Amino acid sequence: MQQDNFEYLANLLMKKSGHVLTPEKGYLLDSRLGPIARKEGVNSVEELVRAMRTRNDEQLNWAVTEAMTTNETFFFRDRTPFDLFKAEVIPHLVENRRPGVKAKIWCAAASAGQEPYSLAMVLREERTMLRGMQMDILASDISDKIIDKAKAGIYSQFEVQRGLPVQLMVKYFEKEGDMWKIDPSLRQNIKFRVFNLLESYLSVGNFDVVFCRNVLIYFNKETKRDILNRMAQKMAPDGFLFLGAAETVLGLTDEFEPVAGKRGLYRRKQRVDVAKVA
Q: Do residues 198 and 18 touch, judged by C-beta distance below 8 A?
A: yes
Closest CA to 142 of 260, 82, 250, 227: 227
Catalytic annotation on 32? yes
DSSP 15-28: HHH-B---GGGTTH
CA distance linking residue 139 with residue 105, whole number of Å: 8
CA distance linking residue 103 with residue 238, whole number of Å: 12
Residue 156, CA atoms < 13 Å, CB-side half-sphere: 3
Catalytic annotation on 141? yes
Catalytic residue among 141, 187, 208, 268: 141
DSSP state of 219: B
3-state secondary structure at position 65? helix
Phi and psi at residue 239, to the nearest 5°: -70, 160
Catalytic residue among 32, 50, 124, 230: 32
Q: How many beta carbons lie within 10 A of that of residue 252, not counting itself?
A: 18
β-partners of residue 154 are: 181
Q: Residue 214: which H helix or E strand, with range?
A: none
Known catalytic residues are 32, 141
